[in-house]
Structure 1
């Protein structure tokens, strides 16, 4: 970074995905503060001060870092953004909810820090990986019906990028009509018997920061009739690799789901 560098020099990342992208682009020197929920890359937790959760932030600590840009995500951080803007800080809140949105986010963030070419290369690498996994699953004559659960009390189904990645990985999302809803409150499943009726082959749980408990899922009234429960096809996908709308979902999250589906396909004699 030189004195003539016109791009942001002191960035606070309120969520994990901008931190992961900036490290991947070799622009981590611009980061002065991160979210306490950041786990990727692991070195970020050792190198950068943690100044926010998800719906709350340490305003005074952020201001003390003298950021020239704060980056956050979604309506859930609107109050944090408002307080920072009132304090005179420039804030960018992204609100992408799809795979294409994640790819565009990588490109936009790279451009904002003067690293467009590196961001374009990174986004193309992600696109190539998506295409590779999609092609690997395309030959399956039968695809598993997949129920993805983001939270258990109340039951919340998967967001759009998760549903899209399920499709790329070789499955069919059980609630595509709910996946289109960007807000979690609109993806609450009031009647759990609808999962029983739709009879998923696989249940994936990612309970947003707490361990998925398949034995609890199996104990829900009537759920013993679900093929996934009968056959023990209930797996956890760790939330840091699937519930962040960033690179982790396009690489590790996608790979984890594809591995589950491929194992299911092999057990059911479905040729790869």
Structure 2
């Protein structure tokens, strides 16, 4: 009887031990699975340079070096720890007191590093050479393009992913697309698209925008023809040097003028350099009073999804008399 009792006790202890081992094993497997899941990166980004940037966790300290992207960033609910001084468009109201790290073309690396960012967002033409510096400091860096309406959309969606506000970004893009489509639908139908040329003034130099640029993209979507696309010359990011001879030969219906400094500088340049030139005065756009100075805060750089205001602006000045 005692022997039977001992056997029963032994079996019970054995079952308890096996059950405990199974529970421990199951707990270890769960821990491994949790660790495996936590090892998944927060976000992988392929930037404009084709670089794959991995964010292991959601970035908290973000420095934005590009005005346009800064607007998109704040529109989706982001909050930067650093930004560059305003270049052509004022920063979002919420970002006015954010620490500045120099100018877009002259970034103060020391000031950036002092902010201890875990992500820096740059612009393709200006900040590519900074990648190695930030990567060596253990800081994620992405370079973005900002030369078309599609770029604005893509950047806004990316800012939504980075900040964890994807739904808000998608909603903003949907509203933006709807408004742009509405504006374009109001453009009168014509057998022949009106032609245009865009002159851009950068200091003492004058260029023609062949594209892709924000202003060219907007004009073409508004059913205008970029007559300067046929011009040959050294192209720099969508710009070629201005030629009066070529402009007279092309003779666009509309002539738009932009300045990368101030609108006053652009008007002074035209007044001093072109108005006394007979060739300039022979242009149809000049004689027909179809020369327009476009505001740089709408056409040199667009403030994120508010680019719809730029569409409305150009549509109104071109088609209001149609």
TM-score of the pair, normalised by structure 1 = 0.83
Match of 1:194 in 2: 246
Matched, 1:61 2:111: yes
Q: Quick one: structure 1 residues 109 and 220, their matched pair in 2 at CA, closer, same or farther if it must change by over 3 Å?
A: farther
Please report how far the alpha carbon of residue 149 of structure 1 lies from its aligned counterpart in structure 2 after TM superposition: 1.5
Q: 2:224 aligns with which of 171, 177, 181?
A: 171
Q: 1:206 aligns with which of 241, 254, 258?
A: 258
Matched, 1:34 2:83: yes
CA distance in 1, matches of 2:101, 2:174: 32
Q: 1:139 aligns with which of 182, 189, 194?
A: 189
Structure possessing the higher radius of gyration over alpha carbons: 2
User: C-alpha offsets along residues 112-158 of structure 1, whole Å, 9 cap, x if unaligned?
Assistant: 22111111111111111221121111534554321111226433222
CA distance in 2, matches of 1:241, 1:82: 33
The question of whether the paired residues in 1 share the 8 Å contact of 2:63 and 2:82 is answered with yes
The question of whether the paired residues in 2 share the 8 Å contact of 1:71 and 1:91 is answered with yes
Q: Which moved more, 1:74-83 or 1:120-129?
A: 74-83
CA distance in 2, matches of 1:245, 1:50: 20
Matched, 1:10 2:61: yes
SS of alignment partner, residue 142 of structure 2: strand
Please report how far the alpha carbon of residue 47 of structure 1 lies from its aligned counterpart in structure 2 after TM superposition: 2.4
Matched, 1:243 2:296: no
Q: Gaps spanning 5+ residues in structure 2: where? A: 1-41, 43-55
Q: Which moved more, 1:82-91 or 1:63-72?
A: 82-91
Count of residue correspondences: 258
Please report how far the alpha carbon of residue 218 of structure 1 lies from its aligned counterpart in structure 2 after TM superposition: 3.1
Match of 2:170 in 1: 120
Match of 1:231 in 2: 288
User: C-alpha offsets along residues 197-240 of structure 1, whole Å, 9 cap, x if unaligned?
Assistant: 11112211111122221434434461111011113322221212
SS of alignment partner, residue 199 of structure 2: strand
The CA RMSD over aligned residues, in Å, is 2.7
CA distance in 1, matches of 2:277, 2:139: 48
The question of whether the paired residues in 2 share the 8 Å contact of 1:170 and 1:258 is answered with no
SS of alignment partner, residue 116 of structure 2: coil
SS of alignment partner, residue 241 of structure 2: coil
Q: Quick one: structure 1 residues 190 and 140, their matched pair in 2 at CA, closer, same or farther if it must change by over 3 Å?
A: closer
Please report how far the alpha carbon of residue 15 of structure 1 lies from its aligned counterpart in structure 2 after TM superposition: 1.0
Q: Quick one: structure 1 residues 96 and 56, their matched pair in 2 at CA, closer, same or farther if it must change by over 3 Å?
A: same
SS of alignment partner, residue 36 of structure 1: coil
Please report how far the alpha carbon of residue 162 of structure 1 lies from its aligned counterpart in structure 2 after TM superposition: 2.2
User: C-alpha offsets along residues 23-65 of structure 1, whole Å, 9 cap, x if unaligned?
Assistant: 211223xx11112016444414532122131211111111111
